[in-house]
Amino acid sequence: MQVQTLQIYSTITGSPPNNDGPWIDISNLVNLSVQINSYVAGSTDIEVSNDPNVMIDGAGIGAPSAASVLSQFLSMPGNLSTQPPNPALITSQLPATTFYVKTTFITKWGETSASAESSLAVTAGNYLYVAAPVPTVAQAPFVTGYNVYVGLSSGAEVLQTAPPYSPQRLIDGIGSVNVLGGGTVNLGANQSTRFAITGALPILQPGFAMVNGFQQTQWVPPSADQSGGTGSGISVSNGAGLSTLTPDENMAVAVFISGGNLMWSPSNMTWRYLRVTHGGANTTAWLEGQRG
């Protein structure tokens, strides 16, 4: 078995955020101990967690890094009117409008703050198209969707998508279609059907097309980033600090204290992640473990 030694905490070269060290994946270790030098009595602690998303550390992932890329497209004749004379080919009756747009990312925990604003003067009869915001490499693992906010004046954007917005994967079919129970039905002139598809085909343009015009939903973008998780684990000392645990070789978790240094050593492990928290000005911590 391979022995691993890793420095997992230091406030000498610069304090980690909130004096909490980074989460360390310990799932590949069969045993471990943590040595903490210059701990703070009643404060320095260890947190553990099995949450696979705990490494987001509670911080929001941040808004889309760029303003939305906007374009417009012409309404294509071919929709059948529901008003007499029927059928009659119709086109969009939307007036010329300047739209102002912001986007946000959606995560499993919530929604980011909005991107910078962009605007586009859309010609009468055309539809607004908003390209999907592109997450950074760091954001991508946490993004599950996005929302589009549109306004008729700068700074007045309201929600146009139903959260969370996930572009549908649909294709149009012509000719004949299979029907339930067997057989086929031939489609007539100007008729088509739509088929849902799954992961086999990529979405080349997974943007948002505002084909129903502007909707005054009154739902504005979040004023603060709400996309982060809890980012916290369970304190092994119930929040009292490691130094409050009584050293006892018969304990399931042994704690040894010598001067200003401390060693924490569990006899067995059921956790996936670990971190040291609430260090002092000179606190350092080292993880020593044995790989399985």
Q: How many other C-beta atoms are found inside a 10 Å radius of the C-beta of residue 169?
A: 15
pLDDT of residue 251: 53
**How far apart, in whole angstroms, are the C-alpha atoms of residue 255 and residue 262?**
7
**How far apart, in whole angstroms, are the C-alpha atoms of residue 249 and residue 236?**
17
**How far apart, in whole angstroms, are the C-alpha atoms of residue 283 and residue 51?**
26
Across 109-133, b (16+ Cβ under 10 Å) vs e yields bbbbbbbebbbbebeeebbbbbebb
pLDDT of residue 241: 82
In one letter, which amino acid is 196? Answer: A
Asked whether the whole model's pTM tops 0.75, one would answer: no
**How far apart, in whole angstroms, are the C-alpha atoms of residue 228 and residue 256?**
36
Give the strand order in the sheet containing 3-10: 3-10, 284-291, 29-37, 261-266, 253-258
**How far apart, in whole angstroms, are the C-alpha atoms of residue 278 and residue 237?**
13
Stated as kind and residue range, the H or E segment containing 1 is: none
**How far apart, in whole angstroms, are the C-alpha atoms of residue 118 and residue 194?**
33
What sign for the dihedral angle of Cα 278, 282, 283, 287?
Answer: positive
**How far apart, in whole angstroms, are the C-alpha atoms of residue 100 and residue 120?**
7
pLDDT of residue 42: 85
Mean pLDDT of successive 10-residue segments in the chain (292 residues)?
Answer: 84 60 88 91 88 77 94 64 48 83 89 95 90 88 88 95 51 43 48 39 64 86 83 79 68 77 82 89 90 74
Report whether 61 contacts 107 (CB < 8 A).
yes
pLDDT of residue 91: 57
pLDDT of residue 65: 94
Please tell me the class of the 3-58+229-291 domain: mainly beta
Q: How many other C-beta atoms are found inside a 10 Å radius of the C-beta of residue 193?
A: 13
pLDDT per position as a tens digit, 121-176:
999 888 899 999 998 888 887 888 889 999 999 999 999 987 544 444 334 444 44
pLDDT of residue 15: 52
Annotated domain spans of the chain: 3-58+229-291, 60-167+203-228, 171-201
pLDDT of residue 104: 93
Q: Which two tokens stand for residue 95?
A: 């007036």
pLDDT of residue 186: 52
Q: Quick one: three-class SS letters along 23-58? A: CEECCCEEEEEEEEECCCCCCCEEEEECCCCHHHCC
